[in-house]
Every structure is written in structure tokens, then in C-alpha cells.
Amino acid sequence: MKNKIFGNVFITGATGLLGSELLSQILENREANRIVCLVRDIVPSSRFFTEKFNEKIVLIQGDLRDQDLIDRVLNEYEINTVFHLAAQTIVGHANLRPTETLDVNIRGTWALMEACRLNQKNIKTILFASSDKAYGNLNGERYDESFPLAGQHPYDVSKSCADLICQMYAKTYHTPVAITRCGNFFGPGDLNENRIFPSTILSVMKNERPQIRSNGLFIRDYIFVNDGAAAYRTLAKKMIESPEKFTGEAFNFSYELKLTVIDVVNTILKQMDSKLTPEILNQSSHEIPVQALNSAKAIKLLNWKPLFGFEEGVKKTVEWYKSNYNEK
């Protein structure tokens, strides 16, 4: 059998929003010989199970922080490509239980990276999912990859630290890792109904006013999960082609739109032909007021461009919830 571009693939966080879409694309494009997925919790409503991805991969149930387990998996399945997506990503949970988020996101990353270093003879590329939150609060400037990592709140700090750990392994041990920094993912399969897209769409479906926890003026960078997953695959392929060029490099992926939460909610309302108006709760705290990314580096070095964009992504996201939640 001809070796496929990613060879044997290991994905952490495969049941999540991004992980399920990335897995779907790799399967659809037949880019892997074998896919091994680390899953902590069995979530039957995840696309991972509803679309039967679990029947097409090797499922390992365990914790990202179990370095011996990761080491065994990488060695036993002769992993060539690693997509490290697993993390505790909910900002509210991080603020309430900071040590759990710090432990999962930081210790989980160094455990994985150390296991990768020990199995470096087989591994050709590692992609780590960092975040725009890793930059911290840069007073409204549009971040490019040269900006310092300066998280201040629990989730932000966890991503800053994990990002730096990956850079350390690249610089010190030449471990072939590259880093992605994206904004807020949205799209089909997001089961966290507290996030702005699911909460707004489901409220409108119930003919209830959507609620905005903040003052509605926070600016965020949003990216459709299908575009995000495609960007990961693009970077991984470039890493395989030129590891010496991309090892240790970070890339922002963004539509470069500065959207307030109110802008996002109004776009969803328009897409759903709703005359409802949002209810502003103004209850959020410990959040960065403005975050926006510069994607010039990805456009220039990776020849990256989104396949869908924001408004098309909103349309497809609304369609998915209408199809999958109509009986709930």
C-alpha cells in the first residue's frame, strides 16, 4: 500500500469541534494510513460518534497527562503526524477552576511533547493548537506572530505556557512542531451550548431572545471550523515537505474581521430571518476586550486562503443546528 501524506496519524481532542472536523477531512481526503485518536470522555452526541468516525479509527481512551500512555501509543502505532488539539477551552470554567485548566493544558502539552521527543525517529510533524488568547491583551492591536505571548487570565496563561513549551522543544531538541494560533472556532458539531453560536441559534429556534453575557462590545476573531481544519492540514503538509523551514514557527489563521459579539449575533439573526433582539447581560469578567489576528504570514508562506469565510460559515452552521436539533 502506498504511504499516504500524513502516514500514521495521532489526534488528541478528536471528539471536539475542531477535532471532529479535522478527522472528517483527513478521512474524506484519504490522507492517512491509520488514524489513532486519544479520547478522555465518551460523548455520544459528538460528531465523532454520530457520524461513526469511531468505527474508522483506533480509539484510545485515556488522559493526555498520562505520558507513559502517549509514549506507548506513539511507539506501538509508529505515529508519523501528530495533531495536538486537546485542551480545556472554556474560559468560564478556567476562571472558576484555574488549576485544572493549567494542569490539563500545560502538563498535558509537555507530556505529549516529551513522548514525541522520545519517538522522534518516526514523527515527521506535530501541530499544536495554540490560540489568539496566548497573546494576552495587546490593547486592540492586530496581533502578528512576532508579538510576545503574555496571557494574564487562567486560560490565556495556559495557552501562552503551552505555546512556549512547544517552541522550547523545537529550539532545544529540533522536535518538528509548528504552532497554530486561531481565534474562536464556530461551526457544525459545537456541543457547548453556552458559546455564542450555539446559544444564539438555539434561542432563535425556540423563539427566545438570545442572551449576550458581556456588554456585547468585546471584539473577537472568529473562524469557521471547516476553514480552520483545512488550515491545519495545509500547514502539516508544508511541515512534511520542509521541516527545517517550518519547525518552531507559529501561524495565525484569520479572516481579519474585527467583529463585536453584537455583530456576530446580528449576523446569525439575519441569517435566520429573525426579528428578535439580543438581551445584554453585561456579566462577563476577566476577558480581553479586543483580539484580532494578522494572517499575512500564513498567506505569504503557506499560500493559505479560506475556502468558506465568515458569512458562508454562519449559513452552514445554522443549517447544521436546524437539521440536528429540530427534534430536541
Q: What is the mean pLDDT of residues 43-65?
A: 95
**Other Cβ atoms closer than 10 A to 88:** 18
Q: What is the mean pLDDT of residues 64-83?
A: 98
Does the pLDDT at position 328 exceed 60?
Answer: no
d(CA 178, CA 167): 8
Q: Which of 2-6, 123-127, 292-296 has the least mean pLDDT?
A: 2-6
pLDDT at 216: 82
pLDDT at 1: 47
C-alpha cell, 45:
452526541
Buried b / exposed e over 47-73, threshold 16 CB at 10 Å, is bbbebebbeebebbeeebbbbebbbeb
Q: How far is CA 115 from CA 61, 82, 198, 270, 327, in A?
A: 17, 11, 36, 48, 44
Report which secondary-structure segment, H or E, holds 126: strand 125-129
pLDDT at 277: 92
Q: Who wins on pLDDT, 321 or 285?
A: 321
**Other Cβ atoms closer than 10 A to 245:** 11
pLDDT at 234: 98
Mean pLDDT across the chain: 94
Name, in order, each residue with C-beta under 8 angstroms of 319's C-beta and a sequence gap of 6 or more: none
d(CA 78, CA 123): 8
Q: Who wins on pLDDT, 4 or 282?
A: 4
Q: Which range among 40-44, 87-91, 95-99, 250-254 has the greatest average pLDDT?
A: 250-254
Does the pLDDT at position 2 exceed 70?
Answer: no
Positions marked active-site: 155
For the chain, percent of residues with pLDDT exceeding 90 = 83
Q: Which of 12-21, 106-115, 159-168, 318-327 has the least mean pLDDT?
A: 318-327
Q: What is the mean pLDDT of residues 256-268?
A: 93
Distance of CA 124 to the CA centre of its chain: 21
Return the bridge partners of 223, or none.
185
For the chain, percent of residues with pLDDT exceeding 70 = 97
pLDDT at 3: 87
Name the band, by pLDDT with cuts 50, 70 and 90, for residue 205. Answer: very high
| Burial class of residue 191 in the structure, from the number of CB atoms within 10 Å of its CB (0-12 exposed, 13-18 middle, 19+ buried) | middle
pLDDT at 140: 64
Q: Who wins on pLDDT, 324 or 103?
A: 103
Distance of CA 12 to the CA centre of its chain: 11
Q: Which of 89-98, 155-164, 260-269 has the least mean pLDDT?
A: 89-98
HSE at residue 99, side-chain half, CA atoms within 13 A, is 0
Domains of the chain: 8-186+222-255 (3.40.50.720), 196-219+257-299+307-324 (3.90.25.10)
d(CA 52, CA 179): 29
Name the band, by pLDDT with cuts 50, 70 and 90, for residue 217. Answer: confident
Q: What is the mean pLDDT of residues 252-258?
A: 93
Report which secondary-structure segment, H or E, holds 83: strand 81-84
3-state class of 186 per DSSP?
strand
Q: What is the mean pLDDT of residues 294-300?
A: 97
Return the bridge partners of 137, or none.
none
Does the pLDDT at position 153 exceed 80?
Answer: yes
| Rg (alpha carbons) of the chain, rounded to whole number | 19
Q: How far is CA 7 from CA 2, 122, 139, in A?
A: 10, 10, 42
Q: Who wins on pLDDT, 209 or 90?
A: 209
What proportions of the chain, in percent to the nearest 5, are helix, strand and coil? 45, 15, 40
Name the band, by pLDDT with cuts 50, 70 and 90, for residue 288. Answer: confident
- Scan for cell 469578567, then name that residue: 285
d(CA 234, CA 304): 8
C-alpha cell, 266:
446580528
Does the pLDDT at position 243 exceed 70?
Answer: yes
